[in-house]
Structure 1
Amino acid sequence: MIVYVRFNSSHGFPVELEEGASIAVLKEKVGMLQGVQPEQLRVIFAGRELLSDGTLQGYDLPEQSTVHVVLPPPGSGRCSDLALQHRLGRGVDSLTRLDLTSSRLPTTSTGLAVILETDDEQRAREEPEHTGPRPHSSFYVYCKSVCQAIQPGKLRVRCRACKQGTLTLSRGPSCWDDVLLPERIHGVCQSEGCLGGVAEFYLKCAAHPTSDDDTSVALDLIMPNVRDVPCIACTDIMSPVLVSQCPDRHVICLDCFHMYCVTRLNERQFIHHPDVGYSLPCAAGCPDSLITELHHFRALGDEQYERYQQYAAEECLLQMGGVLCPDDPMSAQQRFGMRGETCIRASTRHVKRCHHKTIYMTLSN
């Protein structure tokens, strides 16, 4: 397999290794190429130092992964920090196997919305029911650059100061807020000359190799259905599913979510919220359940999503007191910011809006 190595945050270069190779072998190859002693090198991947006796497979390094290899400067004043981080890093859970679904679910529930329970005994008791392989990660993203679809994602972390993946974490994320909100988790950046200590998490599409700057938006309400919960709409058991953030955490499969969104879009029943934007609540109509990350509506597909954006822009304009040109067949493209402006193309003056319909009169000249 090929692993890309960034030595002291330089440009990456490929290193060919056996899939079962140890981290010690990787250090030997990098040390030979860079003319340094392998035992002095530190290998960092996804916020964690990889120990020499571990293997590439054991650390879940996929094909064409990028790892950072650093050579701490001799006599560095941060030796005590590095030693502390080395001890802390041993207890950091791997980001490649992190599961944050429980943070989007209630701690206690008797309804269908329970997908994952946090109680270890309950999980162990029901483990034999699952005959297939468990997913390594619970993350989903919208991949805009290549797939243009909702895909499994992989979580990565970098130093907020230098933007390099050389930060080793003091602890791993325990909930989605740790990932989405800034300055929740700290660590030690091992890039030479960088004193940064704040973790910045981001997600990448797991369906194809990605460059350093090829990031994707996290869809935190979409998760694998590891407990085989039926969809609230079709009652089929599907995976992945979208879990609404209503009190009952209703579950809907992505096909039904797509149909729900298209139906509401056709009826122009999306809700314009001043803080959230153009959104929908739980499919069961639960209060206070608007989807706040609007990229979830990428499930509409490109054509319908363009219509969603058009309607969202129109609704925003109407909420601000603007009007749309009723004579233009492409009226969504002919907008006016204030009442009383003149549409040159249609030779009409828009005077007011009443119940989302424009009242206008033809100009005499």
Structure 2
Amino acid sequence: MALRGTNQEFGRPYNRRIVLETIRLHAPITRADIAKRVGLTIQTVSTIIRELETQGFLIARREAPKGRGSPATVLSMNPEGGFAVGVHVTPLGVEAALINLAGAVIGRERRDLPRVDPDTAFSEIKGLVRQLGALRPNGRMLGVGMAMPGPFDVESMSFVGPTTLEGWKDVPVRQSLTLATGLPAFIEIDLAAAAHGERLYGRGSDFRDFYYLYFGVGLGGCMVHDGTALRGAWGNAGEIGHIPVVPEGDLCPCGNRGCLERYLSLEAHERRARVIGEDQWRAEVAPIFRQAIATIENLFDPETIIVGGLAPKPLLSRLVAAASPLPNSIAARRTRTA
């Protein structure tokens, strides 16, 4: 992903973000190299660096001498310069993690709370944030982010059915999260949050364009193009679980029949494999999975599809194996490596 800044004054917050991101990706790095990568002047970069150093977000050190003249100063992230708590609320429960500025997980806690109601969830989150914060009692807490199932603000689908948070309709989530934790709060749909995490710290960092297939209690996905998650007009792009794939198939809580996540999701796996067995379930859904992969590839033309989410890795691995060989699509190139 090419990060390019602006030397206009109104672009200062954006410039700070891309300078930080460039340091995260390429540290240790000099001011001159940062300026070259992001298209800003040395003066602009130096001003931003001074601010970030003062705030404790960066560590500066001199390179070893390589000849005449003073060695250059190189910059890297200060992992202890700030911390945030990431929270994931699903129909299965609540999970929270304390993360430092370098993205390392300092601590993680989970509470199994099937079909958790909002009051219980925020009470648990309050305790989890306090518990995790105690791991860095003197650390600067920058905020709390919460991922939850979507879609958002769709009358017939939001908080409807077993793959969503039933009973959460009209809950002021952001305000409730701030009230529970006392921290700046950010809310994201879980499939997009997972795709961002994959881009920053997982296999997605190797690709400019990839599709993240999120196998959770429901099923969703997110196309990442040039480092940016494609969100759609209302932020709900990627809800492929509600694409009808089986004519006159199982009734979905959204009102349609034959929706993909009625067959391919953790909820579907638990419901169906209990009746017909694990092996038979895989055989049953493999053709539907192959169809979904071909649809994604023909629609988005990604370099690769990364499958992840809440499902255990062995389950995903066996499902991918059962779906082979994949049908032909525009992604079937001789030069494809992933």
TM-score by length of 1: 0.27
Higher helix share: 2
